[in-house]
Chain A
Amino acid sequence: MTMVIQTVLTIGGAGLVCGGALALAARFLAVKEDPRVAEVDGILPGANCGGCGYAGCAAYAEAIVLEDAPINLCAPGGAEILSKLAGATGQTAQMAEHKVAIVLCGGDVENAPRKFDYNGVADCQAAHTTGGGDKACPYGCLGYASCSRACPVGAIEIVDGIAKVHPDLCISCGACVRTCPRALIKMVPYARKIHVMCSSRDKGPAVKKACKVGCIGCTICAKLAEDEAIKMQGFLAVVDYDKELDNDAVIEKCPGKCIVRI
């Protein structure tokens, strides 16, 4: 019986001492945090995608509350979260247009040959800096899935050797844009469907040699599109997403077959 009492006393005593210490520590070592930060953090989606430019949702919440950061930076959150944030902070803001990522390259296994057998780390940055990448086209998608790994929601898939973004899954965080060593990924308005699926700045003959579906810089589309909705940047046609473009002629007339409707 004494043993039972001794045990209970010892363990109970130890528990009391430790509990007391914890209680004191909680009181004296507490980190003062603005309660509004926690509130805003609670509203944010918690994906920690970094699309807002801050280290994560908690950092963005802190920035909103303490540094008056704009509240419309959370692309994954969309309009719903924006209105909740507006309610919590009293700020008003317009949600930016819903944008999604797109990989501007159509040179899949079929269309774009490789110039050597690459043997090494399966990562686009690594492949890009080893012999300049195994794709004959120095601008094309290498297909080693670095963007796909960077995507927090699994919206990017490698199909036939090139990356494809599923627009309905994309939360527009921009992680893929920052990862791609060839800067092929652009954020474009969700509603826009016509794209020039090529990023090669080479002249026509060089493009033709490297890819069957590359932009050869013929300027036909730039002439067909109204209001300069497609502009030439050197030897590459580039869609100006600020302008309207719904003209199937540019698709049909493109000799490089690189303008497509998605």
Chain B
Amino acid sequence: MSELSIVSSSPHAHSGSSVRRIMLDVIIALVPAVLVSLYFFGWDAFRLTTACVVTCVAAEAASRKWMGRNIGIDDLSAIITGILLAFNLPPTLPTWMAVVGSVFAIVICKQLFGGIGYNPFNPALAGRVMLLISFPVFMTRWSEWTIPSPIGMDAVTTATPLGLVKTTIGSAGALPFDFTGSAMLQLFVGNQNGCIGEVSAAALLLGGIYLLIRRCITWHIPVAYIATVAVFSGILWIHHPQQNLAPHFHVLSGGLMLGAIFMATDMVTSPVTKRGMLVFGIGCGILTMLIRKWGGYPEGVSFAILLMNAVTPLINRATRPRVFGAPKGGRKQS
């Protein structure tokens, strides 16, 4: 430091927050889910998470150097992209595909748009969707899992709960099983089939509470998202209980918890106004349910969030708060 005093514009006080600290908090919040994924999927979870994180960080560093950006990788955002992408991969995926997805997420979806702050889409989700469309077989090949059966006889399946439901309802009509009591608990702790990071609602909620306490996220998006899914599925369920899954099942299965708490709340790609966040969450919920119920895929969280990412600028515009002192209801700001 030189001997001259520092002069800057006011304010001269700061809350102490930093992008790096926020990213670090998100990583800390992801730790419980990482541990659960290691417990249930073992080596595969370790393999995929490591591959994604290492590739993302390397790709970030390389592309920044290549594009001549002077901001370093120390904001930690690439690590989060890596973990979240890995969380969205099935345990059987070959490592090289995870690497391809990571490079796509960082280079194409983030750095080519201008790097941190400028990407319109959540890089991890974009990476996952790219893989899902390019390698549909690999991306839907799950490990073996014992489903709780309604008649007390457990069966082994290699499908996810939502996938199972989609195929059985599509062909036969009646649900193959019901989810009550201990089965719900099983879903809640994470003993189910799915992508390595999405299985345990408990671990994800724990991380979400941490993020809320640390003010890294606000309640608006997760609550609006999950509540919309619950209400939407609840209406369907009351209307046709044989044809539709119960709302609590919808909430606890698939990628909803992961999406609502960690992906939809990504600061860069979600609205900045509180009302906008509610709209965003509700939109995500409706799209997710539309895809789950009537779409070609059993799960729709990734697509729903990406589609809502695309309209985030419009939501920001539409939910611009009324300037203090401006006439109420009047003066639309162009």
Contacts and interface: CB of A to CB of B under 8 A. Distances in A.
Whether A and B touch directly in their complex, counting CB atoms under 8 A apart, is answered as yes
Interface of A: 114-121, 126, 130-131, 134
Contact of A115 (B4, B8, B9): B4
Interface string B1-33: 010111111000000000000000000000000
A117 B9 contact: no
18 contacts: A114-B4, A115-B4, A116-B4, A116-B5, A117-B5, A117-B6, A117-B7, A118-B7, A118-B8, A119-B6, A119-B8, A120-B9, A121-B9, A126-B9, A130-B7, A130-B9, A131-B7, A134-B7
Nearest to A131: B7
Contacts of A120: 8-9
Given A117-B5, A117-B6, A117-B7, 10 more contacts: A116-B4, A116-B5, A116-B6, A116-B7, A117-B4, A120-B8, A120-B9, A130-B8, A131-B7, A134-B7
Chain B interface secondary structure, helix, strand, loop or mixed?
A: loop
Contacts of B4: 114-117
Contacts of B8: 118-120, 130
Contacts of A121: 9
Nearest to B3: A117
Contacts of A134: 7
Nearest to A130: B9
A130 B7 CA distance: 7
A158 to B, nearest CB: 17
A118 B8 CA distance: 6
B1 to A, nearest CB: 8
B90 to A, nearest CB: 41
A73 to B, nearest CB: 34
Contacts of A126: 9
A117 B5 CA distance: 6
Nearest to B1: A117
A121 B2 CA distance: 20
A115 B4 CA distance: 7
A134 B5 CA distance: 10
Contacts of B9: 120-121, 126, 130
B3 to A, nearest CB: 9
A117 B7 CA distance: 6
A161 to B, nearest CB: 15
A117 to B, nearest CB: 5
A61 B5 CA distance: 52
Enumerate the 9 nearest inter-chain pairs by beta-carbon distance, A residue then B residue, closest first.
A131-B7, A119-B8, A116-B7, A117-B6, A116-B4, A120-B8, A117-B4, A130-B9, A120-B9
The residue in B6, B7, B9 that gathers the most chain A C-beta atoms within 10 A of its C-beta is B7
A130 B4 CA distance: 15
Nearest to B6: A117
A126 B9 CA distance: 9
A131 B4 CA distance: 13
A39 to B, nearest CB: 36
Contacts of A117: 2, 4-7
Interface in B93-146: none
